[in-house]
Each structure stands twice: as structure tokens, then as C-alpha cells.
Amino acid sequence: MEISAKADSKSNTIFHQWEAESKLISFILLMFSFAMIRNIELVIIMILVSAVMFFVSGISYSCLLNRWKTPAVLVLLMGLMVLFFSEGQILITAGSLTITREGLLGMIILISRVMSILTLIVILFETTPFLDIITAMHNLGLPKILADMTLFTVRYIFTLNWQLKQMKKAIILRGFIGNKISSWKEYAILIGGILVRSFEQSDRVYKALAIRGYSFEQIRSAPAGWDSRDKTMCYSFAVLALLISSIQVYLNIPGV
């Protein structure tokens, strides 16, 4: 996740230059339209759209695969449940396991849908500074206190993670072996210690902010404003999302 406004080697793509608020709206619309898809014909369009966006975004394969890793396992498990527990026209039977046509289609649609939406999320977060996303969410109605809490949580996760690693190294040096079931007690104490530290640190952070004039009013940049390119991109995505949703609604009509 890109959390700063850093300019990497591929930060000149159209997605990187797109203003965060209009990008967020566009991506959300497209994600909703993807979530509505129930037909295999539209799945192909969805995968094509996601693939084109991925290539245009300039994000590396390794980055995408890295972000996909954990959710892919969960989605695969859900897909297998759909595959083996759906009723319909039987295709293969092996012992007590039965694969139906509906189950197979259901699995393909489910996995494609979730992975396509996940790809959009990866593109959104990899091409937009986190701070800009929070600002955009706030401008779109996320309460200020929640926006600030999100911002601080993400910022200090790195610090807390570092502290946790240091504490773990320190207890390993004193003979702690982390792979035993009994070591869960030590892990619980470590996490408890981190929670207490984070509570104390939050107090110090608040004081440091107050000295520099923080009053829950402004910790982010003002929105940059939409230019004609941002508007064009947003309208194009809205039309695409509307088109996909309309086709899906049309295909759902009985007899079509």
C-alpha cells in the first residue's frame, strides 16, 4: 500500500494522476457493478476490464500476487464449498462428492467476482496515497473522528509492529521458544504489553499534536478538486458500471 505521496518509477500512469475523490467514487461504482454479476458472459467482461486496468496501472505482478495471497485462499475455500454443495445437473461423481454444472459455474463466478473486486482495491490503494483516500472518504461523508482514527491506526501500526518484533526478539534471547502451544501465554502477554504501550503513546501523540495546533479540525490537505480529466474518467467509469449492471438486470428478467 502506498501511504505516502512518493513518486515511484511508474507513478505517471493515468490512475496515479487521477484525483482521489473522483477515483474513489468511480472504483466503488465499478465494484458494485461487479458484485451484481451472476452470468458467465459478464464474468468474461469483468475479467477483461480488471486485467486492462491492472496493466494500465503499472503495478507489478509480484505486488498483485502478494496482495491476492491471503484472500485467495479464503475465496478458494468458499468456491470449493459452492462447487461441492450446489444442486443441479450432475457432471462428475466421485464417491460421496458430486460436481454439478451449477456448482462449477457458481465457483467460477464467485472466484472471478471476488478476485476482480480485489484487483480494483489493489489498484486503488497502490495508485493513491493513503492520506488522499482518507481525505476523499472524509469529503464523501466519513465522520472526521473516524477518518482521524483510521489515519492514526494505519500510521502507528508500523510502530507497534516494530515494537512487537523487538519485544519478541528480546524474549527469544532469554530462551523463549515460540512454536510450542504453551507459548500462547507469552504471546498474549506481549500483545497486552503492546496495547498498554499504545494507550500511553496515544496520549503523548495527542499532546504533540495539540502543541502544533491540532483541534480535530484539520490534519489533511484540502481536496485538490476535479479537473476535466477526472470528470471524464469518473463519468466513463459510471457509464461502464451502469452498463454492466443494466445488462445483468436484463439477463435476470425471466425468459431472456
Partner 1 sequence: MSEQETVLRISNLNFSYTHSGMILDNISLNIARGEKIGVLGPNGTGKTSLFLLITGVEKPSSGEIYLYNKKITPGKFHPELGMVFQDSDDQVFNFSVFEDVAFGPRNIGFTGEELASRVNHALGHLGISHLKERPPHQLSGGEKRLVAIAGGILAMQSRLAIYDEPTSNLDMKFRRKLINFIKTSNQEAALIASHDLEFILETCNRVIILDEGKIAADGKPQDIMGNWDLMKKHSLEVPHSLWNK
Q: Which of 95, 175, 213, 254 binds partner 1 (CB under 8 A)?
A: 213
Residue appearing with cell numbers 482514527: 149
- Residue 110's nearest CA partner among 34, 49, 167, 162 is 34
Number of other residues whose CB lies within 10 A of the CB of residue 4: 8
Q: Output 188 or 196, the one with its CB closest to partner 1.
A: 196
Residue 134 CB, nearest distance to partner 1 (Å)? 9
Q: Which of 214, 224, 247, 248 binds partner 1 (CB under 8 A)?
A: 214
Q: Which of 92, 173, 181, 211 binds partner 1 (CB under 8 A)?
A: 211
Residue 234 CB, nearest distance to partner 1 (Å)? 24
Residue 12 CB, nearest distance to partner 1 (Å)? 15
Q: Collect all residues with Cβ–Cβ distance below 8 Å to 239 and sequence separation of at least 6.
A: none
Rounded to a whole number, what is the distance in angstroms from the first to the last CA of the chain? 43
Query: Side chain identity at 40, as an amino acid letter?
Result: I
Q: Does 145 bind partner 1 (CB under 8 A)?
A: no
CA gap 47, 59 in Å, rounded: 17
Q: Output 6 or 69, the one with its CB closest to partner 1.
A: 6
Q: Which of 42, 114, 122, 131 binds partner 1 (CB under 8 A)?
A: 131
Q: For residues 179-208, which are near partner 1 according to CB under 8 A?
A: 201, 204-205, 207-208
Q: Which of 75, 130, 190, 245 binds partner 1 (CB under 8 A)?
A: 130
Number of other residues whose CB lies within 10 A of the CB of residue 164: 16
E runs forming strands in 61-212: 90-94, 97-100
Q: Does 110 bind partner 1 (CB under 8 A)?
A: no
Q: What angle do CA 85, 87, 90 make, to 5 degrees?
A: 105
Residue 53 CB, nearest distance to partner 1 (Å)? 24
- Residue 233's nearest CA partner among 112, 137, 127, 114 is 127
> Which residues of the chain form contacts with partner 1 (CB under 8 A)?
3-7, 129-131, 151-152, 155-156, 158-159, 201, 204-205, 207-215, 217-219, 221-222
